[in-house]
Structures are given as structure tokens and as C-alpha cells.
């Protein structure tokens, strides 16, 4: 403790250089722990893109592919499932609720999804958080549309504005359903999930806008107005996929086996959590790259400390000589420089954590609202403690070289005058 106290006093005597070194280490620690926390919370948020749904059902395909187009609105289904098959699955005793999804249309680059009002009641994300309306409410009229937060913000839509849906993913003039415009009836609050980038309409509306279409193109000589389409039978013939919630988790594999062995048509039922883990295994390599980059930033900060200690040794030769002359042993000199390195590393860690929590307090609401990532303000995790321990150990190791050089300085060398 006396050595650490002396080291602290020595650093105060060189407060400008020591302060800059301390700040560089603090920034490195802030980046390291900040990236680690964002990495962990991003994985959690990704895993919680869909919460409370026990199964996703669709036409026979791979689990990741079914997850991508049904939840993330990426890609297209290889086939549809019939409405009768969906009704058979929804009527199973173990099924508590089900949400049909119909995809394939778009609006100015954003996916349009047909569904029912159960979607707004049962769709959950981020540890069972439900959808909340910022303006308006669910669709009630056939041509009502509910917008995700990103769609409304990017296209500057307000309540009551009109919009036109296009057939397929390309919003070109000949593919638009111009004669059946929709009206904005609701805008959802931001969730940080694909919901934000989706235009929601009813299943009947999807059927209505395609009432005079066949095979992906308008039927020659047939054009139904919006009002004429209302009088048609708008029961869907097929849907893209369905989200299913069960009465008990115990029945998950039973219902999954029923769907996978369904005799009427080839279907697939996947567990969202398993499929999300598989997908993260494919795209999650970026998180390790971020951690490596932040670790190199810490190394750069520690090299800055090493450089500062080494460059100060020549200026402190007389200081060391005076300490030796009053009885300090070479081991005391070694311990003094090591103490300075440890104090700088420990103080840098403390200041870095302070900066991190200050930034979290300021940026947490913005990040949660915009990206759906909830950054925890809790205590450090065991893994974060391990990272900080490694930083402290690295600071100890970095101080060994200047400490050894100071140890080798002799009293005669310290009092000599170099030309």
C-alpha cells in the first residue's frame, strides 16, 4: 500500500501525461465492455424477435427458410399451405391460438402481410412484450392498413393517408392494385423487429385486391372496383404460414409431429427458438469480429501506457537516483513503476465503467426505441468481470518492461550527466 500511495503521488506530479494515458485506457474499457454488452443484448433481442409462439407452420421447407420469410420477411415461400389445412391445425385441442399469415405483396419496398386481428393480440416479442399502437388501432374496414413504425416514418404516412399495394416484391406501375387503395387505420409503436418494416392488412383484403387477378397478372377484360370486390367470397384459398400457440408446452412435439406427418399436404412445423439459434449461428460471426476489434483497442490503450512510462524514465533518472540515495532498493524502484502501471490500469477500468454507465443512461432509451435492443443497467456479468480482469492483468504485464528498465538503472547512472 505505501508503494501504491507513492505511485499515486508520482502520477499526480505528472498529471497531464498520466491523465491522457488514463483517459485512453478508460475509453478502451468503455468500448470493450460496451461492445460485449451490446453483443449479448443483441443476441437476446434477436432470439426474442418472436416470443410466446410455440410453432411456426408452413409448406414443407427448411426450418431457417420458413423462419426467414414468415418472421423476418426475407425471401419467398416455396409453396403455400391450404386454408383447409390451416383450419385443421387451428382446430386441434392442444392449440390455444393461431395466426394465419399471407405474404407476397409489397408497398414501396416494404412487405405487405395479410393476417387477422388475432395478430395484434397474440404476437409478442422481447420476453412477451405485446404490440402497442402509437396511433389508431387494428384494421376494421376491408381496406384498412396498419403500418409498422419504420414504414410510417420512412414514407411520412399519417392517419387516414391512402396507399396502394403492388403485386410481388417489385413496386412497378403495371403491378399495382391502383383501383383498390388502402387507408392508414393504425401505426404501431417501434419494436426493433421486422414488424416495424411491415404493412399489415386483413386476409380478406389480400383476396379482394386479387379478385380480378390470376397467375400473378390481371385477368384480361375483367376489372372489379373496390366496392364490387367487397361482394365476392373473400375466404382465402391458401396462406403462406401460420404462428401457433399451444395450451401447454408439453404438447409441442405432439403437435409438431402431427403437422410434419399431415396426410393432406406436405407441411413443416418448426420451433422458433431452435430455428433462431440456427440462424444466429450463420450470421452471428460478426459479434466475434466486434469483440476482437474492441480487444485490439484495449491493446492500443495499454501500449499507450507502456510508451508513456518508458518515455518518462529518462526524465526521471535523477528522481530514481534520489530515491536510491535515501535508501530505496532496486526492488522498491521496480515496485514503484509497477504500482504506477497498476494504478493507471485500475483507475482506467473504473473511469471506463463510469463512462459506460453514463452513456447507457443517456443512450439506452434511444437504442431501445429505435433498434429494439434493451441494454441492461445491472451489475457486471461474470464474463465482463473476466474481461476486466484480463485488462488489469495486461496492464500489470505492460508495466513490467519499464519497471525492469528502472530496476536496472544504477545510482551512478542516475547522477551522471549525459552529453
**Based on the domain organization, do 184 and 208 belong to the same domain?**
yes
Q: What pLDDT is stored for residue 82 in this prediction?
A: 95
**Based on the domain organization, do 318 and 376 belong to the same domain?**
yes
Element (H, E) at 160: none
The C-alpha cell at 205 is 383484403
Q: What pLDDT is stored for residue 411 in this prediction?
A: 47
**Based on the domain organization, do 351 and 386 belong to the same domain?**
yes
**Based on the domain organization, do 120 and 26 belong to the same domain?**
no
Rounded to the nearest 5°, which phi and psi values hold at 106?
-150, 170
**Based on the domain organization, do 252 and 185 belong to the same domain?**
yes
Q: What pLDDT is stored for residue 369 in this prediction?
A: 66
**Based on the domain organization, do 266 and 293 belong to the same domain?**
no
How far is it, in rounded angstroms, from Cα 132 to Cα 119?
A: 12
Q: CA–CA distance from 27 to each of 141, 293, 356 (Å)?
A: 55, 14, 9
Residue 403 lies in a domain: yes
Residue 192 lies in a domain: yes
Q: What pLDDT is stored for residue 417 in this prediction?
A: 47
Residue 279 lies in a domain: no
Note whether 232 and 23 are within 8 A (CB): no
**Based on the domain organization, do 122 and 265 belong to the same domain?**
yes
Residue 240 lies in a domain: yes
DSSP letter (8 states) at residue 189? P
Q: What pLDDT digit, counting tens, does each position of 22-71 carry?
A: 888 888 888 888 888 887 777 777 777 888 899 999 999 888 899 999 99
Residue 24 lies in a domain: yes
Residue 275 lies in a domain: no
**Based on the domain organization, do 104 and 233 belong to the same domain?**
yes
How far is it, in rounded angstroms, from Cα 297 to Cα 300?
A: 5
**Based on the domain organization, do 28 and 85 belong to the same domain?**
no
Q: What pLDDT digit, counting tens, does each position of 193-252 carry?
A: 899 999 999 999 999 998 877 766 677 777 788 888 888 889 999 999 999 999 998 999
Point out the domain boundary residue: 225, 244, 270.
270
* Domain count of the fold of the chain: 2
Residue 383 lies in a domain: yes
Residues of the chain with pLDDT under 70: 1, 3-6, 169-175, 215-217, 283-284, 313-318, 321-322, 324-326, 330, 369-374, 407, 409-419
Closest by CA to 334, choosing from 409, 390, 392, is 409
Point out the domain boundary residue: 270, 292, 322.
270
The CA-based dihedral angle spanning residues 226, 230, 233, 237, taken in that order and rounded to the nearest 10 degrees: 50
Beta-strand pair 182-188/144-147: parallel
Rounded to the nearest 5°, which phi and psi values hold at 235?
-70, 125
**Based on the domain organization, do 252 and 162 belong to the same domain?**
yes
Residue 309 lies in a domain: yes
Point out the domain boundary residue: 270, 296, 313.
270
Residue ranges making up the domain that contains 310? 2-46+284-415
Which residues 6+ apart lie within 8 Å of 74 measured at CB? 68
How far is it, in rounded angstroms, from Cα 210 to Cα 204?
A: 10
Q: What pLDDT is stored for residue 92 in this prediction?
A: 95
**Based on the domain organization, do 108 and 12 belong to the same domain?**
no
**Based on the domain organization, do 232 and 307 belong to the same domain?**
no
Amino acid at each position: 500500500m505505501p508503494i501504491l500511495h507513492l505511485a499515486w503521488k508520482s502520477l499526480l506530479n505528472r498529471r497531464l501525461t498520466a491523465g491522457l494515458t488514463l483517459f485512453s485506457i478508460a475509453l478502451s474499457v468503455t468500448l470493450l465492455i460496451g461492445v460485449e454488452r451490446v453483443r449479448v443484448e443483441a443476441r437476446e433481442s434477436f432470439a426474442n424477435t418472436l416470443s410466446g409462439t410455440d410453432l411456426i407452420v408452413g409448406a414443407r421447407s427448411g426450418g431457417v427458410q420458413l423462419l426467414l420469410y414468415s418472421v423476418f420477411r426475407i425471401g419467398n415461400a416455396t409453396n403455400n399451405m391450404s386454408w383447409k389445412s390451416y383450419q385443421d391445425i387451428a382446430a386441434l385441442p392442444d392449440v390455444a391460438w393461431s395466426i394465419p399469415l399471407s405474404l407476397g405483396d409489397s408497398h414501396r419496398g416494404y412487405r405487405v402481410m395479410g393476417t387477422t386481428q388475432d395478430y395484434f393480440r397474440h404476437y409478442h416479442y422481447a420476453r412477451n412484450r405485446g404490440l402497442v399502437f402509437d396511433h389508431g388501432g387494428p384494421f376494421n374496414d376491408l381496406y384498412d392498413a396498419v403500418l409498422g413504425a419504420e414504414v410510417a416514418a420512412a414514407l411520412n404516412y399519417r392517419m387516414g393517408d391512402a396507399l396502394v399495394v403492388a403485386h410481388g416484391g417489385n413496386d412497378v406501375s403495371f403491378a399495382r392494385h391502383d383501383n383498390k387503395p388502402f387507408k392508414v387505420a393504425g401505426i404501431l409503436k417501434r419494436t426493433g423487429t421486422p414488424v416495424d418494416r411491415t404493412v399489415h392488412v386483413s386476409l380478406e383484403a389480400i383476396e379482394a385486391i386479387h379478385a380480378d387477378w390470376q397467375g400473378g397478372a390481371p385477368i384480361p377484360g375483367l376489372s372489379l372496383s373496390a366496392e364490387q370486390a367487397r361482394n365476392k367470397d373473400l375466404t382465402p384459398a391458401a396462406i403462406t404460414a401460420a404462428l401457433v400457440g399451444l395450451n401447454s408446452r408439453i404438447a409441442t412435439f405432439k403437435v409438431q409431429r402431427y403437422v410434419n406427418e399431415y396426410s393432406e399436404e406436405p407441411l413443416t412445423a418448426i420451433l422458433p427458438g431452435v430455428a433462431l439459434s440456427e440462424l444466429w449461428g450463420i450470421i452471428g460471426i460478426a459479434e466475434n469480429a466486434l469483440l476482437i476489434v474492441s480487444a485490439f483497442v484495449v491493446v492500443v490503450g495499454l501500449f499507450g501506457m507502456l510508451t508513456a512510462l518508458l518515455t518518462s524514465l529518462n526524465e526521471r533518472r535523477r528522481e530514481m537516483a534520489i530515491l536510491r540515495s535515501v535508501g530505496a532498493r532496486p526492488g522498491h524502484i521496480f515496485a514503484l513503476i509497477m504500482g504506477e502501471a497498476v494504478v493507471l490500469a485500475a483507475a482506467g477500468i473504473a473511469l471506463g465503467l463510469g463512462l459506460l454507465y453514463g452513456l447507457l443512461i443517456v443512450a439506452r432509451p434511444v437504442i431501445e426505441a429505435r433498434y429494439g435492443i434493451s441494454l441492461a443497467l445491472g451489475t457486471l456479468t461474470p464474463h465482463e468481470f473476466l474481461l476486466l480482469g484480463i485488462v488489469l492483468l495486461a496492464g500489470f504485464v505492460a508495466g513490467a518492461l519499464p519497471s525492469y528498465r528502472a530496476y536496472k538503472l544504477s545510482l551512478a547512472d542516475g547522477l551522471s550527466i549525459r552529453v
